Structure 1
């Protein structure tokens, strides 16, 4: 199973100025934008860390997901949430020959915790032995920062501030999240079952 981002979050979608205000950085100086690259990096790192912990995509983008078989005959949970659209499903045989699946054969079951691909008939398309299925989908709470849940936005600011304050190599408590961040993201965490896979 492989999940690949097809598009990235544009810098224009990140709240650089809001993060500056959160950090209470000085303004009105000639070098106001001097640290923008550092702030951008901290915000992206915080977003990636929170998404990895929660399985939730904060700002909307497209993903490519490859798997060697469905977990169920008639439905398959998607690896992240929320999902707004299934753009395509393609079945490939072991030689790489691809067949685009008719979109009338499946529907998206929307869910903020565990969205699913649901067969409209008895079962999802058969995956050939040695082949795989490729799912292209769009996921994320919103295409803009303002459309995200407020608590996730606050968690991202807190974690980005933590990264900013401990940006010198060797500083900080690596591998752990500040308590306030953990508390804010806890309701969004998905319990993984079946050996950590997507059920």
Structure 2
């Protein structure tokens, strides 16, 4: 099972203006750096929590038919299944009719259940599920605790930007960061 992001978010959950206000910076000389820190903070929060903050497109690639005719989708929240493509033993592509699968987007991880199994799939990468995930299209759609965690990361990394080399980043995380994202982490039983 492989997850591939096929379309990155169009905007960041935290704007440059919000980050500069948090940092109490009025000049524009470090806007590029702050913008890069915002992007890095989003990527770190998404990696740590398994979330997609702003709408983005993903592809889940499976080798074989899922046991129990259902597959868990590890990126959250899943908003829409765009398509399900199966590849036959000769490599021929076939798009599954949406009537033959059902999405449970309320669960975490989301579950996609199929009601019919294709005849034969190719040995590797036989199924591709394209889906859209994210809280919404803009920053206000993202929960405030996550945005606060991002601002903490941006401020921390900005403060210690000269203390560590690029190969040592991220050198540390701010106190309280883990508490802010704790309720959004994917839990295992």
Common fold by TM > 0.5:
yes
Describe the SS at the equivalent of 1:6: strand
Structure 1 residues 14 and 143: alpha-carbon distance in aligned structure 2, compared to 1, 3 A threshold: same
RMSD (CA atoms): 2.3
Q: Deviation at 1:72? A: 2.5
Deviation sequence 1:95-117 (CA, Å, 0-9, x none) = 43211111110111112621111
Q: Hey, what's the Cα distance between the residues in 1 that align with 2:48 and 2:117?
A: 29
Asked if the contact 1:91/1:99 (under 8 Å) is kept, the reply is yes
Among 118, 123, 126, the residue aligned to 1:130? 123
Q: Hey, what's the Cα distance between the residues in 2 that align with 1:58 and 1:184?
A: 15
Runs of 4+ in 1 over 4 A off after TM superposition: 11-14, 123-127
Moved more, 87-96 or 183-192: 87-96
The aligned runs of 1:1-199 (5 Å cut-off) are: 1-11=1-11, 14-26=14-26, 32-111=27-106, 113-119=108-114, 121=115, 123=116, 125=118, 128-131=121-124, 132-168=126-162, 170=164, 174=170, 176-192=172-188
Q: TM-score, normalised by structure 2?
A: 0.87
- Alignment length, in residue pairs? 186
Q: Which runs of 5+ in 2 are unaligned?
A: none
Q: Hey, what's the Cα distance between the residues in 2 that align with 1:16 and 1:66?
A: 35
Describe the SS at the equivalent of 1:136: strand
Structure 1 residues 130 and 12: alpha-carbon distance in aligned structure 2, compared to 1, 3 A threshold: closer
Q: Which runs of 5+ in 1 are unaligned?
A: 27-31, 194-199
Describe the SS at the equivalent of 2:25: coil
Structure 1 residues 16 and 125: alpha-carbon distance in aligned structure 2, compared to 1, 3 A threshold: farther
Structure 1 residues 164 and 86: alpha-carbon distance in aligned structure 2, compared to 1, 3 A threshold: same
Asked if the contact 2:49/2:186 (under 8 Å) is kept, the reply is yes
The equivalent residue for 1:29 is none
